[in-house]
Amino acid sequence: MRSPHRPSTFRRFIVAALLLTLTIELLPESITRAFWVGHLTGATSWGRKHDINKHPIDAQIQTAENESAAKLSKSTRTLAAAAAAYRKRRGRHPPPGFDKWYEFATERDAIIVEDFWDQIYQDLEPFWGVQPAKIRKDARDFDMRIQIRNGKASTSSDWFWTQIWLDMIQTIEHLLPDMDLALNPMDEPRVMVPWEEIDVHMKKAAKTRRIVDVESVVSSFSTLPLSEEAPQDHSDIPPVQWEHDKHYWLIARRGCPPNSPARQAQVITDFDKPPYIASPFSLSLTHMEDGYVANYTLSTDFCHQPDLQALEGFFVEPISVSATKSLIPVFGGSKLSRNNDILLPAPIYWSEEERFFGAEGASIPWASKHKHPSAIWRGVATGGRNRETNWRAFQRHRFVAMNNATILAAQEAKPPPPNFALPDRRYALPTDDLAGWIADATDVAFTELACSHEGFSPSCNYTALYFSPAQGVPMAAQFQHKYLPDIDGNSFSGRYLGFLRSTSVPVKATLFREWHDARLVAWKHFVPMDTRFGDWWGILGYFLGGEGRDRIGEGIALAGREWAGRVLRKEDMAIYVLRLLLEYGRVIDERREVLGWVGDLR
């Protein structure tokens, strides 16, 4: 394999080029982008803001180190300190039962950093703008439910996810107030309230956010009857409307602010041609810096990225859609940044199935992993319902094509064959011979083409022209490879936790949010990738660029594994859910504004 990194010739080039830099900065974006040929060799970003010898990824890794250290330094070691950190960050007293929660967490050696629970507050805050009786009613009216009464959790649903969630909640049931939990049985999230309405709820919620006088605080939750009657003043609320429009972008974008690119951009309805893909250097991609993801949280939001409407199957045609505009409390395992579902750890994570964890291979030493290929991906061609007229908009198809030497070589023809739109390779090439290089560096293939609709199954003639399904590779065997790209399927990718717990590096591209997001630091515990994948070749080129870089990769693999062992254990999931459900128990309680735990202040 050729070394993708050639610093010395490049250095000479820089000296001459530096003189031009100032002028270039003044040119239009299209021209400046073409000028950043430094990315061809992997050493670049000079003249902007970083050290001339540094690759932009070096800067991201340095920032991540700092962010991670700063986060850890906020950890608290006493109940009083945890309560103080709570009040400071949340603007309310902790919920009743906070002392029991703290005890539960510390008995299980949890690291207590208040920020780790941020997701709970993002999810629940709008509900402070909804009447408690209405939230309870909406939960009761939902088909799939877990009921908690008198410290016991139960369900009448035998759906296997409900059973797994029940098993999870039973580990903490004795600490929970009475409640009904509505559970999403689907892969796809359910609730997408228009931004304007969330704004109203958030403003109402803000008015309730205060530190109540200690004397006025009530410290015990209300109890609920076994099946509560609908209160009079809500019997006129019409039942929740469910929408089944398969073009999910139309549903998704209403969660974005009115002036956002997602709301303003023209809606694409023709997916029967190669889509437009914004360059990783586009100034509109505010989550990118010098071609790589600099703000991972922002990278998973879509409101500033309207081209994603034709680059992610979920926006084009999910397998199933059942969505509502009403702010109702539905719990589920993953969601888009703008969905209003309430996140629980996904059942896949609680059940720790070998298929998704490959625990047997998870501790293979870095040094004994394969030299070639360095990256592996296997998966089904999911992402939604792919059809002859839309598959070009599917992320997994794009990713597999980007790792196919034949397809890459064909793309060099002028004009390229009209079948694919791949990210522009000029800005991220680790080598002149991308096709040859990729053949050596990666092993990426579908295991099934997944055309389930009538007339096409199982032949899938429209994608079979370009892709050949390969043998699946068990997770434990995938861990023989150093880099593990992780791409969204029909919704989030359930192998992520298994990847994090392994000694390989997860390279994560997603639009889905999960319970654990606030406790992971991109470039420290995993490598973030843009959902267009325009940075993929550059990422791989960086890590395969010599022994020093290989050690950096090993560092991320081990840091992710070590961290997952401290903050992503099943114990941590239970601790998260206990905190979540104490908060949920409060927000559905008629006395919620005065409910709190103030044991440290009395």
Ligand X SMILES: *[C@@H]1O[C@H](CO)[C@@H](O)[C@H](O)[C@H]1NC(C)=O
- Binding residues (CB under 6 A) for ligand X: these are 62-63, 66, 295, 297-298, 400, 404, 406-407, 445, 455, 461-462, 466-468, 470
Nearest distance, CB of residue 452 and ligand X, angstroms? 14
Nearer to ligand X, 249 or 377 (CB): 377
Nearest distance, CB of residue 455 and ligand X, angstroms? 5
SS (H, E, C) 23-81: HHHCCCHHHHHHHCCHHHHCCCCCCCCCCCCCCHHHHHHHHHHHHHHHHHCCCCCCHHH
Which H or E run includes 343?
Answer: strand 342-343
Nearer to ligand X, 407 or 441 (CB): 407
Which H or E run includes 416?
Answer: none
Strand 152-154 and strand 342-343: the pairing is unpaired
Nearer to ligand X, 455 or 548 (CB): 455
Nearer to ligand X, 342 or 522 (CB): 522
User: Buried b vs exposed e over 354-367: b needs ≥16 C-beta within 10 Å?
Assistant: eebbbbebbebebe
Nearest distance, CB of residue 269 and ligand X, angstroms? 21
Taking CB atoms, the residue at the shortest distance from ligand X is 468
Q: Where are the beta strands (DSSP E) in 246-332?
A: 288-289, 292-293, 330-332
Distances, alpha carbon 385 to alpha carbons 91, 145, 394, 451, in Å: 44, 28, 9, 7
User: Buried b vs exposed e over 462-489: b needs ≥16 C-beta within 10 Å?
Assistant: ebeebbebeebbebbebbebbbbbbbbb
Nearest distance, CB of residue 462 and ligand X, angstroms? 5
Question: How many angstroms separate the CA atoms of 305 and 309, rounded?
Answer: 8
DSSP per-residue letters across 370-397: -SS--EEEEEES-SS---TTTGGG-HHH
Nearer to ligand X, 443 or 593 (CB): 443
Nearer to ligand X, 84 or 477 (CB): 477
Apex 412 CA angle, 406 and 414, nearest 5: 130
Nearest distance, CB of residue 274 and ligand X, angstroms? 14
Cβ atoms of residues 478 and 370 within 8 Å = no
The three-state secondary structure class of 528 is strand
Q: Does 373 sit behind a cis peptide bond, omega within 30 degrees of 0 on the bond before it?
A: yes
Nearer to ligand X, 220 or 457 (CB): 457
Nearest distance, CB of residue 307 and ligand X, angstroms? 18
Nearest distance, CB of residue 61 and ligand X, angstroms? 9
Nearer to ligand X, 21 or 62 (CB): 62
Q: In 10 A of CB 181, how many CB atoms? A: 25
Question: How many angstroms separate the CA atoms of 379 and 358, rounded?
Answer: 15
Nearer to ligand X, 3 or 461 (CB): 461
Cβ atoms of residues 130 and 584 within 8 Å = no
